[in-house]
């Protein structure tokens, strides 16, 4: 008797909250920062796919054109292309090309992270001024295309470089860093 009552309780309990809400897949696209991100740990209740490719940049984004129909896309990319940007006009045209490539993914909703600050192999801290400038251009272009821009650059910056509490090598995030960027994205997802 108790067994029957228990099974009945379980069935009612589970079905009491049944929902037919159809949630989009979240496709995370970008470089090694994405590839190393344990998405199931930070987004355990979401349908996520990790499309990160270490060392990738804008060419990878272009190769994914029209592949995200019906999905939401989360983009974290750009740091591997910094060496190409020598002048202000390079930065301006890169930001335009970057957002055009992201728009071409054809995702239902797009969230784009700012490029993260860095201090890799003791490189010159001036690189972060270039990143800040590029982020500004990317933000402006994103707003024109109705893309959600998520600023994590300022949250990870300390003394003109990446805060080493959040990175283990000056480029890649550690778990504390991933906690911060996950939190910032969740603010928009919820």
Partner 1 sequence: MKNFLIKIFFLSSFILLFANSIQAQLKVGLRDNTYAQIAYEFKNDWEAKLEHSIYLEKFGFQKVRAYMGYNHMWGNFKLDANVYGSTLWNASYQDFGAVVTAGYRILKPWRIEATINPHYDTQYGYKTCYAASTDVQIVEHFGVMAQYTTIPEYRLSEKRVRAGFIFSYKELQVTPMLSIPVGEEIKSMRILCSFQYKFLFKKNKE
Give the alpha-carbon dihedral of 182, 187, 188, 190, to 10 degrees: 110
Is residue 22 a contact residue for partner 1 (CB under 8 A)? yes
* Options 174, 179, 180, 184; binder of partner 1; rule CB under 8 A: 179
Contact 163, 157 (CB under 8 A): yes
Using CA atoms, how far apart are residues 68 and 106, in angstroms rounded to an integer?
6
* Options 9, 151, 159, 165; binder of partner 1; rule CB under 8 A: 9
* Options 4, 28, 31, 47; binder of partner 1; rule CB under 8 A: 47
Beta bridge partners, 28, equal: 50, 74
Q: Segment contacting partner 1 (CB under 8 A): 40-48, 69-77, 99-107, 133-141? A: 40-48
Using CA atoms, how far apart are residues 95 and 136, in angstroms rounded to an integer?
9
CB of 41 to partner 1, least distance (A): 7
CB of 130 to partner 1, least distance (A): 28
E-strand ranges in the chain read 26-30, 48-52, 72-76, 109-113, 148-150, 157-158, 161-162
Return the closest-CA partner of residue 134 out of 73, 81, 68, 71: 81
* Options 4, 45, 66, 187; binder of partner 1; rule CB under 8 A: 45
Is residue 69 a contact residue for partner 1 (CB under 8 A)? no
Binding site for partner 1 (CB under 8 A): 2-3, 5-7, 9-23, 35-38, 40-42, 44-50, 52, 179, 182, 186, 190
């Amino acid at each position: 008797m108790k067994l029957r009552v228990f099974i009945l309780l379980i069935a009612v309990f589970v079905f009491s909250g049944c929902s037919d809400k159809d949630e989009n897949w979240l496709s995370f696209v970008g470089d090694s920062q994405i590839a190393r991100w344990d998405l199931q740990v930070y987004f355990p209740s979401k349908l996520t796919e990790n499309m990160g490719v270490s060392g990738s940049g804008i060419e990878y984004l272009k190769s994914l054109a029209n592949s995200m129909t019906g999905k939401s896309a989360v983009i974290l990319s750009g740091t591997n292309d910094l060496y190409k940007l020598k002048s202000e006009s390079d930065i301006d045209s890169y930001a335009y090309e970057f957002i055009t490539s992201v728009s071409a993914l054809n995702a239902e909703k797009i969230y784009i992270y700012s490029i993260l600050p860095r201090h890799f192999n003791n490189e010159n801290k001036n690189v972060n001024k270039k990143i800040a400038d590029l982020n500004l251009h990317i933000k402006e272009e994103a707003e024109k295309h109705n893309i959600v821009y998520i600023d994590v650059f300022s949250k990870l910056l300390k003394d003109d470089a990446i805060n080493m509490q959040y990175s283990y090598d000056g480029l890649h995030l550690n778990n504390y860093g991933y906690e911060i960027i996950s939190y910032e994205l969740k603010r928009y997802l919820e």
